[in-house]
Homo-oligomer: A and B are copies of this chain.
Amino acid sequence: MTAVCPTPHHEDEVVLLGHGAGGRLTAELLDTLVLPALDGPDGPLEDAALLPGHPDLVVSTDGFVVSPLFFPGGDIGSLAVHGTVNDLAMRGARPVALSVALIVEEGLPLSELRAVAASLGKAARDAGVPVIAGDTKVVGRGAADRIFITTTGVGQRRLGLRPSVALARPGDAVLLSGPVGLHGTTVLSTREGLGFDSDIASDSRPLHELVAALAPLGGQIHTLRDPTRGGLAAALNEIARASSVAVEIEERAVPVPGAVAAACDLLGLDPLIVANEGCLVAFVDAAAADEALTALRSRPEGAQAARIGEVLPHGARGRVTLRTLVGARRVLDMPLGEQLPRIC
């Protein structure tokens, strides 16, 4: 065999930052290029995939490229653990094991690598999940930006919990476990030196115990999703589309911290599209909504849980609408996605 290096057809057909931002461009890249090549699922993309032959086990992987490496409330090490633990949790699983692959730029101070590794290790211990496999690669100066981390997790699904992005149903209550916008605005504010970082901190934290609190409700928990890249807007749109339902959210019911609102005003961002790393949306049978809300609020990380909307009995399938503060109704679209690179 000889090396085949393809020539691009058009100069302008290149990867854009927005392709990685979790919005419409990301979906397009996955749907038209990556998934066909890899024989991806015909069905919806879940936060974690079932392991063939082992229906109780799920697998999830995530690359972390956040910049800066350290920010109020966390760093790339703790984020890499929480992100993957949470993706497993969204399938109703407790984390069984993690693998960690580091790509490090030559010249990174060992003290920073040590700090990141220590934070990653502590986050894993705190979440009760062992790091069982790892890899470290080093590339030359300028070939990477300091450090990238890819974590992969294997999780074991809790008895009775079988949530899926495709299982939301008309009538479901939509619950949100905590305030939105903290992670994205914190990272952006730290990176750009905007000064908000004294008022806010990332919500980065593990959510598997919060999911465990929902376990007694079993099959009444239809869908769980953590609104990371693309924020609450992307998560809700993914659920509406995968479940083919119409979702309606009460804007006033969505908790947005004052500092997040202020930062978003300054940055021209909608808090609903800003990444979170420590909250989840749950679509639950309306009959179990109060009990689910109580269960969420029983945990510190769910203390501010709120019921923010519902799945409409009728309505345009795949669409998310927002009832605004003034009572109007507008479509809450899938974000295009170019606004917040390297947020996780």
Contact = CB atoms under 8 A, between A and B. Distances in A.
Contacts of A15: 104-110, 113, 138
Interface stretch (A129-137, A256-264, A308-316): A129-137
Contacts of A341: 138-140
A133 B6 contact: no
Contacts of A218: none
Interface string A95-114: 01101111111111111111
Given A14-B107, A110-B8, A138 B20 contact: yes
Interface in A293-344: 341-342
A61 B152 contact: yes
A74 B70 CA distance: 37
Interface stretch (A118-126, A168-176, A283-291): A118-126
Interface in A22-75: 26, 29-30, 33-34, 37-40, 48-54, 57, 59-65, 67-75
27 contacts: A1-B201, A2-B201, A5-B68, A6-B114, A8-B109, A8-B110, A11-B109, A11-B111, A14-B106, A17-B138, A34-B134, A37-B121, A38-B117, A38-B121, A40-B134, A53-B96, A59-B132, A59-B133, A59-B154, A61-B133, A61-B150, A63-B137, A65-B144, A103-B103, A137-B148, A140-B342, A143-B342
B19 A104 contact: yes
A37 B118 contact: yes
B1 A134 contact: no
A144 B38 CA distance: 23
A135 B63 contact: yes
Interface of A: 1-9, 11, 13-21, 26, 29-30, 33-34, 37-40, 48-54, 57, 59-65, 67-75, 96-97, 99-115, 117-118, 120-121, 124-125, 130-140, 142-145, 148, 150, 152, 154, 156, 190, 197, 201, 341-342
Nearest to A99: B61
Contacts of A131: 38-40
Contacts of A8: 109-112
Given A3-B70, A5-B68, 17 more contacts: A1-B72, A1-B74, A4-B70, A15-B108, A15-B110, A20-B104, A20-B138, A20-B139, A34-B117, A37-B121, A38-B100, A40-B131, A51-B154, A63-B101, A65-B139, A65-B143, A142-B145
A142 B70 CA distance: 20
A196 to B, nearest CB: 13
Contacts of A145: 139, 142-144
A20 B136 contact: yes
